[in-house]
Each structure stands twice: as structure tokens, then as C-alpha cells.
Amino acid sequence: MTPADLGNSDIAQIFRAEHGRAVAILVRSFGDIDIAEDAVQEAFAEALQRWSSSGLPASPVGWIITTARHRAIDRLRREAPRGDRQAYAADCLEAAEPTEESAVNDDRLRLIFACCHPALAPVAQVALTLRLLGGLTTTEVARAFGVGEATLAQRLVRAKNKIREAGIAYRIPEAPELPQRLRTVLTVIYLIFNEGYTASTGEHLVRADLCAEAIRLARLLRELMPQELEVLGILALMLLIDARRPSRMSADGRLVRLAHQDRTGWDRRAIAQGLDLVRYCIACNRPGPYQIQAAIQAVHSEAANVESTDWHQILQLYDLLMSIAPSPAAALNRTVALAEVHGAAAALTELERLPLELTHLFHAIRADLLRRLGRHPEARRSYDTAISLARNLVERQHLEDARQTLHGA
């Protein structure tokens, strides 16, 4: 690429793609997230200046890492007590030996597990992961989660201090703790995806960049831990759901539910990838919650329309999900399948047993079941409650539209 073709957005793209790798390597060399992060930041700032006039180096990421190392060493030299300066510099240079690709992969994995350590608050896990592995700026992370930049910056500082002070290790958990620790990592990735797919507040329904980031993190994790089926499961789940994004909003910006989506608009390539992963998981026959949820989405993805959907199979999968990983959300979604298989009355009975009156989705599903049973006044009250609880404007609009379809509206 010549300098003329190289825009800031290309460099920004390299930044996003390589940030995690660079920070992870620097953390191993210098043992500190702040030093690593600042040094990588400085290196990218230099790259922005240099590359736009002289073009890309042969290995951009190699250039970034080498430059970042020099910046980190400069900083340590500056900050080290006078007598220790020589020693520091020597240590740092020693740490700068070239690294094997497999070692780099392990570095990234260690950093993921440190960022998603269960001793950190979930919101801090998400913020650290997006910041360090995803290369999002503090501003971008703050905007994604609807919090002020100062608040978010403070949370990040607190989390990084805790990692340092409490001695959270950069370590891949050992076999006995691995399943539980991996679950935390997957929860973080799925939180990022869900926030992207249905922003919990605000005017926009979808934040595609967060969905893409979650999928990128899952792909990275698959590359690093290819034998973990739940990693494949979560990747398949997100690919299958994200494939429907183009059909999920109408031209006038309204939410289109799965049943009414134009399925020709779905991203077939993403679906094919998702289905391949699901088939592989099923063949391995070691089901886990993400694999089962992916299998449920696969049934939807394979159906030409809502009428030809194999609801029996979906209900069976929900039963399996409830038996190995029961959760309120799974129980709630199960009632939707139950309505298709055993009718709205059976589903309503089941739904009303769930302790979920505080979620808008509970009331939205309840309203829909009541409407199907012809109990319109009750359906209206449920829609009212659902609307009052929904925080996303597009979702609220969708519920208001649904309420309009009731008799006597």
C-alpha cells in the first residue's frame, strides 16, 4: 500500500485488530497493564504520523510491538530510582527477546482470563475486555454502555489497580477451574453481543460494532482454545443471530420480529458458518448451554418461514437447556415454543409461574399469548406494563404497534 492509499481508518483498523496482541505481549514483558497500554497507545500515535507519510512497514504489528517496547523501557528508565536505572534497563531489554507465535497466543489468552477474572465486577470485566482486547477507546466503551466517560475511566483504573494490588495472575486457569473461568469469559462476550444486538437504552436498537467485536473475540477464543465446544457454541449462536440483523429493522426504523422477518435478507454466509459449527458440536455430543442455544437458533435459521419451523425440536432443545442450565431467560423463551406446540393456554399457565414480572419481555410474551386467546382487555394491560418497562425506544415502539392491533384499540 502506498502512503496515498493509507488513510487514518486503515490505521484505526490495524489498531483495533492488533491492540490485544500488542498489549498482551507488553504485559508479559513488563508485568503491568498500565505500562503496556500506555506504551501501545504511544506506538500507535507514532504509527499514525509515520505511516501516513512513509507507508506501512512490512509487519505493522511487529513495528507497533517493537516501538511500544522502546517507549515502555524509556518510561521505566525515567521513573526508576537513580541507582536502579541500569538494572531496569537491562531487565527490560532482556524481556524484549523475540517471541514465538504460540507464546503470543498464550499471552492473549492470559490477558483474557485476567480481564474476565470473577473477582472483578462484571461491568469491569466487560470494560477491560473491550478496552484491552478489543482496542476500543475509553470514549467508545463509555458510549457503548451509556455511562459517562469519567465514570468509565474511573472504573477501568479501579479494575486495573485491583489486578495489580490483589495479585490477579496473568495465567490460563488449570483444568479443574477452567470450565468455570471459561464460563465467565463467555458471559462477558455474550454481554457485549447482547448490548450490541439490543441496546438496553436509547434510540438505536442495534450497535453493529459491538456485535462484530463480540464475534471477533469469540473467533479469537476459538483460535486459542479450539477444543472448547462451548466456545464454538457461542460463536455459532452469535453468527446465527447476527445474520438476521439486516431484516430486523424495517425501512422506517421499526423492529421486525423473527416471525415477520424477510428471510431472504438474512446473511447466508454467516448462517452457513453457524450451521457448520452447530453440526460439529452435535456430532461431538457434549452439550452445553451455548451449544444448545445455538442449536435452537439453527432450527430457526433452517426454516423457510415461521410456519414451517420445527417447534417440536425447539421445545425439546429448551427442555434440554432447562435440564442442564436452567435460567429465567431460558424458561421465558421456552414458553414461546410451548405456545406453538401445545397452544397459548398451556404456555400462559407455564409463563405465570415464572418470577419475572419485572422484565418487559415477560409482559410482552404474556400480552401476545392473551391476544391469541382473545383476552384483549388483559392483553392491553400487559402491553401497557411491557411498554412502561422497556427502556429501548425501538422496542417500546414495537410494543405500542402491537397494542394497536388489539380490538377496540
Partner 1 sequence: MNQYLLAVYQPEGPLPEPGALTDIRREVNTIREEMKRSGAWVFSGGLHAPTSSTVVRRSGPELMLTDGPYLEGKEYLGGFTIVRAADLDGALAWGGRLARATGLPIEVRPFREES
We find the least distance from the C-beta atom of residue 165 to partner 1, in angstroms, to be 6
We find the least distance from the C-beta atom of residue 162 to partner 1, in angstroms, to be 9
* By the rule CB under 8 A, 93 interacts with partner 1: no
Closer residue to partner 1 (CB): 94 or 165: 165
Contact positions with partner 1 (CB under 8 A) in 65-84: none
Q: Which stretch binds partner 1 (CB under 8 A): 26-34, 159-167, 379-387, 393-401?
A: 159-167
d(CA 395, CA 198) in angstroms, rounded, equals 9
* By the rule CB under 8 A, 168 interacts with partner 1: yes
* By the rule CB under 8 A, 14 interacts with partner 1: no
We find the least distance from the C-beta atom of residue 183 to partner 1, in angstroms, to be 16
Q: Which stretch binds partner 1 (CB under 8 A): 43-51, 77-85, 170-178, 377-385?
A: 170-178
CA separation (Å) from 171 to 39, 175, 179, 210, 227?
22, 12, 14, 26, 18
CA separation (Å) from 188 to 13, 107, 385?
23, 19, 30
Q: Which stretch binds partner 1 (CB under 8 A): 25-33, 73-81, 148-156, 171-179?
A: 171-179
We find the least distance from the C-beta atom of residue 114 to partner 1, in angstroms, to be 10
CA-CA-CA-CA dihedral for 22, 28, 34, 40, to nearest 10:
-20
Provide the H-helix boundaries in 116-148: 122-128, 138-144
Which candidate, 400, 348, 397, places its Cα nearest to that of 249? Answer: 397
DSSP 255: B
309: left (phi over 0), alpha (psi -120 to 50) or beta: beta
Provide the H-helix boundaries in 198-267: 208-224, 229-242
Other CB atoms within a 10 A radius of the CB of residue 334 amount to 23
Q: Which residues pair with 255 in a beta bridge?
A: 249
* Helical pair 101-115 and 208-224, crossing angle rounded to 10 deg: 130
d(CA 257, CA 399) in angstroms, rounded, equals 11
Q: Which stretch binds partner 1 (CB under 8 A): 167-175, 199-207, 211-219, 374-382?
A: 167-175
* By the rule CB under 8 A, 257 interacts with partner 1: no
We find the least distance from the C-beta atom of residue 157 to partner 1, in angstroms, to be 17
Contacts of 202 (CB under 8 A, 6+ apart): 146, 392, 393
Size of the residue set binding partner 1 (CB under 8 A)? 10
* By the rule CB under 8 A, 167 interacts with partner 1: yes
Q: Which stretch binds partner 1 (CB under 8 A): 95-103, 163-171, 201-209, 351-359?
A: 163-171
Contact positions with partner 1 (CB under 8 A) in 213-232: none
* By the rule CB under 8 A, 171 interacts with partner 1: yes
In sign, the C-alpha dihedral spanning 334, 340, 344, 349 is negative
We find the least distance from the C-beta atom of residue 337 to partner 1, in angstroms, to be 38
Give the contact letters, 175-214, x = binds to partner 1 (CB under 8 A), - = no: --x-------------------------------------
Closer residue to partner 1 (CB): 175 or 409: 175
* By the rule CB under 8 A, 337 interacts with partner 1: no
Place of cell 470485566: 125
Q: What are phi and psi of 203, to 5 degrees?
A: -90, -25
Q: Which stretch binds partner 1 (CB under 8 A): 135-143, 168-176, 235-243, 395-403?
A: 168-176
Binding site for partner 1 (CB under 8 A): 117, 119, 165-169, 171, 173, 177
